[in-house]
Amino acid sequence: MTLIEKIMRTAPVIPVLVIEDAAHARGIAEALVAGGLPVLEVTLRTAAALDAIAEMKKVPGAIVGAGTIVDVPSLECAIGAGAEFIVSPGLTDNLGKAAVAKGIPFLPGVASAGDIMRGLELGLTHFKFFPAEANGGLPALKSLIGPFGQCKFCPTGGIKQDTAADWLAVPEILCVGGSWLVGKGVPEVAAIESAARAASALRN
């Protein structure tokens, strides 16, 4: 099993995190891990993201990756900060080749058959389906799985606790991503842990 597949099979949900203050990172990670969601995607959308990755890595059991990686410089920054896997919203040849050359587990976003074909040409078979709901939802991904049954997916974008189970019922869907677990502002760790517990019970 490849490392990215192992990561995708660790828990049914990968929380997509937008961390505004690195001082919040550790408490959020502890609550998510305690609730049964150890795979964490910290988006590089905020100035605090790289510090947040480093802080979250101190939490025992956490597997911390970087999201919103859109180019090679941000890939290098994320790896430098200790990211253990990389998620991107889309796939370019430049970014794909660089991630493959680094040997880091990589989950690039795809939204079409052409995107998947570009990934396959780079030797990639595991993809984020993004934006999952807006791009046709489950019927669209099921249609893509037809010709690309060798691929595995993590749909992300518009998925919530009450819709995740429908996606997870498809064997080629190893996990889903979503930002619903953590609200904005000062983290309410008890609420985060209970949301994580509900999400981690979706499958396993």
Ligand X SMILES: O=C(O)C(=O)C[C@H](O)[C@H](O)COP(=O)(O)O
Q: How many residues does the chain have?
A: 204
Our finding on whether 137 is near ligand X (CB under 6 A) is no
Our finding on whether 65 is near ligand X (CB under 6 A) is no
CB count in 10 Å sphere of residue 101: 8
Are 94 and 54 spatial neighbours (Cβ–Cβ below 8 Å)? no
Catalytic residue IDs? 41, 128
Minimum CB distance to ligand X smaller for 67 or for 187:
67
Per-residue CA distances from 66 to 47, 88, 121, 157 (Å): 13, 8, 23, 16
Among 36, 89, 96, 155, binds ligand X (CB under 6 A): 89
Q: Which of the stretches 2-10, 98-106, 114-122, 177-185 binds ligand X when contact is defined by CB under 6 A?
A: 177-185
# binding residues, ligand X (CB under 6 A): 15
Among 43, 74, 135, 163, binds ligand X (CB under 6 A): 43
> What single-letter amino acid sits at 112?
S
Our finding on whether 135 is near ligand X (CB under 6 A) is no
> What single-letter amino acid sits at 33?
V
Name the phi and psi angles at 162, rounded to 5: -80, -5
Binding site for ligand X (CB under 6 A): 16, 43, 45, 67-68, 89, 109, 130, 156-159, 177-179
